[in-house]
Amino acid sequence: MFLLFVDYNYQTPSWNTVTQQSHPERVLDLARTKGLLRAGDLDALGAPRVVLSRLAARGQLERVGRGLYRLPDADVTEFQGLASVAIKAPQAVFCLLTALQFHELTTQLPRRVWIAMPRGSHAPRIDHPPIKMVQFTGASYSEGIEVFERDQAQLRVYNVAKTVADCFKHRNKIGLDVALDALKDALAQRKASIDDLWHYAKICRVSNVMRPYLEAIT
């Protein structure tokens, strides 16, 4: 004969209790995978966004910007700021001084991150790093984009030839001397060909501006 004992004082944990207990660890696991964590990333986990602020209060996450978090012991590289912008503004393309710095065509350290956005776009709400937005249209926005993975984020950056053409297009913003140096260095370091430079000069409608400088150099 078998006797069955039932403990009537035992209470099965509620579904809400189980999921609430698992949310912090699941969020931390996601932060380990993604590097930078957005508040919107928690939607896929079904986790309330308040978990982020609670983990930050405990020191288990670090807030690095508006709605952006990372693990406090995460490796921070020189691309962390660009990664933050790329995650917050997926349409942004790094351009002008920031693209020159990325391609190692300048020794300047821009005080702001330069991004290109489609005409009519609103400036992304990013408190850090500070950004400078330039609006491009048509092919001048969509052409010449290269994608690099840095700090577990996809960075969209204009290629060297497009960046040089952009510098001549916006020479009043960054200075003609910067555009000339970028042109000389791009050719000297063989990071762009004459054909590529002419191609993007036409797209950016600065072929007449760039022609005398290209002819003088070549």
Is the omega angle on the peptide bond into residue 129 within 30 degrees of 0, that is, cis?
yes
pLDDT of residue 207: 96
Q: How confident is the model at residue 19 (pLDDT cuts 50, 70, 90)?
A: very low
Higher pLDDT, 130 or 6: 130
* Mean pLDDT in residue range 210-218: 90
Whether the Cβ atoms of residue 140 and residue 132 lie closer than 8 Å to each other: no
Q: Note the pLDDT of residue 82.
A: 93
Residues 6+ apart with CB under 8 A from 103: 157, 160, 163, 191
User: In this structure, what token pair is assigned to residue 148?
Assistant: 């690099």
Q: What is the pLDDT of residues 101-117, one digit of tens each?
A: 999 998 888 889 999 99
Has residue 7 got a pLDDT over 60? Answer: no
Q: Are 129 and 168 within 8 A, CB to CB?
A: no
CA dist 135 and 59 (Å) reads 39
Q: Which of 171, 129, 163, 125 is nearest to 144 (CA)?
A: 163
The model's confidence at residue 100, banded by pLDDT at 50, 70 and 90, is: very high
| Domains delineated in the chain | 15-70 (1.10.10), 89-217 (no CATH)
Locus of tokens 């393309």: 93
26 vs 142, residue with greater confidence:
142
Q: E strands, 3-152, where?
A: 37-38, 62-65, 68-70, 93-94, 113-118, 131-136, 145-150
Q: Which amino acid is at 84?
A: S
pTM greater than the 0.75 cutoff:
no
pLDDT band with cut points at 50, 70 and 90 for residue 75: low
Mean pLDDT of all residues in the chain?
85
Query: In sequence order, what are the beta bridge partners of 68?
Result: 38, 65
Residue scoring higher pLDDT (14 or 90)? 90
Is the pLDDT at 204 greater than 70, yes or no?
yes
Q: 168 φ, ψ to 5°?
A: -70, -35
